[in-house]
Amino acid sequence: MNSDILISAQNLSRYYGTHCAVNNISFELKRGQILGFLGPNGAGKTTTMQVISGTLAPTMGQITIAGYDLIDEPLKAKMAIGYLPEQPPLYPEMLVEEYLRYCAKLHRIPSANIAKAVGKAIGRCGLHSVYRRLIANLSKGYQQRVGIAQAIIHTPDVVILDEPTVGLDPNQNREIRTLIRELAQEHSVILSTHILSEVQAVCSHVQIINHGQLILNDTIKGLLTQIQSTYLRIALRQPPDIQVLTGIEGVEKVEAQDKNCFRIQYTANHNPAEALVEKAVAGHWGLYELIPEQGTLEQIFIDLTNN
């Protein structure tokens, strides 16, 4: 196996009784890549992350982490994983430093190296001002940072973060984004979040899951390039029937946003803007706006998961 491939998931499925929560998912993630893992609520996103992290067994399929099969060599595979679940696994009655020492022991870090590992995690997650405080007395944002610190304390090959920036203020959010980028220099990172702008700003790759199926798998750059120029917004004072707009050459789909404004999807190599202007003038449609729509991850997400 290629040593740069840190995560390989092949034909993963997970059933709860007769309900299929994850349906035949396959993907690979290499060192240095940050994967934004997206999906609407109930799509199977959290189940997939639990399967990949080894906290939930797949019904079918194979997972390798840093070259180790998660089923055949679970201890070696799980040693290569750092996992922050949506609800951080914190002990509120512990001091931050005390808790991180406990986590270091759980990850079998040698006693002589624990102090160094704890100090490094505290530094990377910006916990210097609170490391001697009770976790119960920390703000939600700082508790989230402690959760990230426990996920990276053993410098794992694969870091899985489920909603890592929930409850953080904008400054803390920016710091965590920087931390995620730093992690990706040596590791691969899976980032699950509902904040689509965060994925677009931080991630190198994106996947969208819906109804348990992987419906998109691409790089951020490739994804935005594909859809950058395939939508137009048009506004008309006297619009024709929507079928007239749909019948214009190159137009694939027309969505009425209100009685005067329409969102038009067209084929990548056939921009209908000129034809729209000509027909608007000839038909006295009262054209007052025609704008190319810039591609955003939010619009892609809405289009794919609604269709």
pLDDT at residue 128, rounded to an integer: 94
Listed as ranges, residues in the chain with pLDDT below 70 are 1-3, 226-229, 295, 307
Q: Which two tokens stand for residue 306?
A: 């609604």
Residue 272: DSSP 8-state: -
pTM value?
Answer: 0.78
Q: Does domain 228-306 have CATH number 3.10.180.10?
A: no
d(CA 71, CA 87): 25
Contact 212, 23 (CB under 8 A): yes
Cross-strand partners of 231: 265
Contact 232, 290 (CB under 8 A): yes
pLDDT at residue 2, rounded to an integer: 57
CB-based contacts of 85-88 (< 8 A; 24+ apart in sequence):
85/55, 85/162, 86/46, 86/162, 86/163, 86/166, 88/143, 88/144, 88/146, 88/147, 88/150
- What confidence tens digit (pLDDT) does each residue in 285-304 have? 999 999 987 767 787 888 88
- What confidence tens digit (pLDDT) does each residue in 153-211 have? 999 999 999 888 877 788 878 888 888 888 888 789 999 888 888 888 899 999 999 99
Could you count the other beta carbons within 10 Å of the beta carbon of residue 26? 13
Q: Where are the domains of the chain?
A: 81-155, 228-306
